[in-house]
Amino acid sequence: MGKYQIIATAAMGLEALVAKEVRSLGYECEVENGRVTYTGDETAIARSNLWLRTADRIKIKVGEFKAFTFDELFEKTKAIPWEQFLPEDAEFPVIGKSVKSKLFSVSDCQAIVKKAVVERLKKHYKRNTWFEENGALYRIEVALLKDVATITIDASGSGLHKRGYRIDQGEAPLKETLAAALVMLTNWQADRPFIDPFCGSGTIPIEAALIGQNIAPGFNREFVSEAWKWMPEKVWDDARMEAEDLAKYDQSLDITGSDIDHRMVRIAEGNSVEAGFGDLIKFKQMQVRDISTTKEYGVIVGNPPYGERLGDKKAVELMYKEMGQAFSKLETWSIYIMTSNEEFEQFYGKPATKKRKLFNGFIRTDLYQFWGKRPPRY
């Protein structure tokens, strides 16, 4: 088994959650802006891809160095033992980004990194011609930040939010990674009722069900590193077997998603079936103001419209007010609403127990948390 520097990339604000997940997989890690770094073997790469619910992707860090000139970038990239990662037929496109660095031309940095890798591989594989690049994909990234170049290879392929269950979606679907984060930020346990009153395409209820039954979010998809020569098939088989063993398919769930729009309810049902939950998650057409229940100690997580579109504002504010009135009857429930509306508490009619800043894409939002009574201890 090899030893690799692994990076789990994280959306702004989710780093601590990603780190918590990495630690619970058994790896000590360091947290920085936008990424969590740790050391692990091939199994760690496979398990990270399969299990991390809130990370964006898994990358292998193959080099990190200061680079103030193109020469430096070329030589230091060439010094990386690329032959240990890339076989002769590897397809290796190079992408890049540069922030606050002398080398600001991203396209030049990409071209130089590509040239350096080719030089290194030509020497190792004893070739004078270009590589055909008709094998497995090893997408290289050169990321410059304050003149430090981090060179990585992407081990995920499509982003980890692509779980494979979303066959259709509405207008403003939540990224699956953020939906999982919302559920993880609550105190919900699988034996408690769960409602998403603005379910849209069903992302939050589906992520809650995956968490509730401890199903690895990547279980139903493939990863680019599955085709890598140095990632043995057995590693993937074992990681998938572990995921299968740890899944609690018998865990009963009481998860409901509702939405004012019946078309969204149909879409959510379709996605839930695709995720393997069939009718385990209940979906229904309903306005948030009509939500009532006699069940206790449940959790509500919702991503309502934010009222940012012209003409929507007043209607959304009224809806927040009606929501506050409906939820005021649910004394034992904990309620978590994510919105960018800074006056939300005023309309809802109650100050939040706690607020947490979160980014929904580029939109700055708050997760307004209203903690319910604790369940009695027996």
* Residue 335 touching ligand SAM (CB under 6 A): no
* Contact yes or no for 218/50 (Cβ under 8 A): yes
* Residue 337 touching ligand SAM (CB under 6 A): no
Among 1, 16, 148, 172, the residue binding ligand SAM under the rule CB under 6 A is: 172
Least Å distance, CB 132 to ligand SAM, is 42
Q: Which of residues 283-302 bind ligand SAM (CB under 6 A)?
A: 287-288
Least Å distance, CB 340 to ligand SAM, is 11
* Core vs surface per residue 298-323: b (16+ CB within 10 A) or e: bbbbbbbbbbeeeeeeeebbebbebb
Among 190, 260, 273, 326, the residue binding ligand SAM under the rule CB under 6 A is: 260
* Residue 366 touching ligand SAM (CB under 6 A): no
The residues pairing with 363 across neighbouring beta strands, listed in sequence order, are 360
CA dihedral sign of residues 34, 36, 40, 46: negative
* Residue 217 touching ligand SAM (CB under 6 A): no
* Residue 212 touching ligand SAM (CB under 6 A): no
* Contact yes or no for 243/51 (Cβ under 8 A): yes
Question: If binding means CB under 6 A, how many residues of this protein chain bind ligand SAM?
Answer: 21
User: How far is it, in rounded angstroms, from Cα 127 to Cα 119?
Assistant: 10
* Residue 304 touching ligand SAM (CB under 6 A): yes
- DSSP per position, 145-200: ETTEEEEEEESSSS-TT--S--S---SSPPPHHHHHHHHHTS---TTS-EEETT-T
- Measured from the CB atom, the residue of 90 and 267 that comes closer to ligand SAM is 267
Least Å distance, CB 289 to ligand SAM, is 7
* Residue 259 touching ligand SAM (CB under 6 A): yes
* Residue 334 touching ligand SAM (CB under 6 A): no
User: How far is it, in rounded angstroms, from Cα 28 to Cα 35?
Assistant: 14
* Contact yes or no for 67/80 (Cβ under 8 A): no
Tokens 């939540």: give the residue. 174
* Residue 319 touching ligand SAM (CB under 6 A): yes
Among 40, 157, 197, 212, the residue binding ligand SAM under the rule CB under 6 A is: 197
Q: Which residues bind ligand SAM (CB under 6 A)?
A: 169-170, 172-174, 197-198, 200-201, 203-204, 259-261, 264, 287-288, 303-305, 319
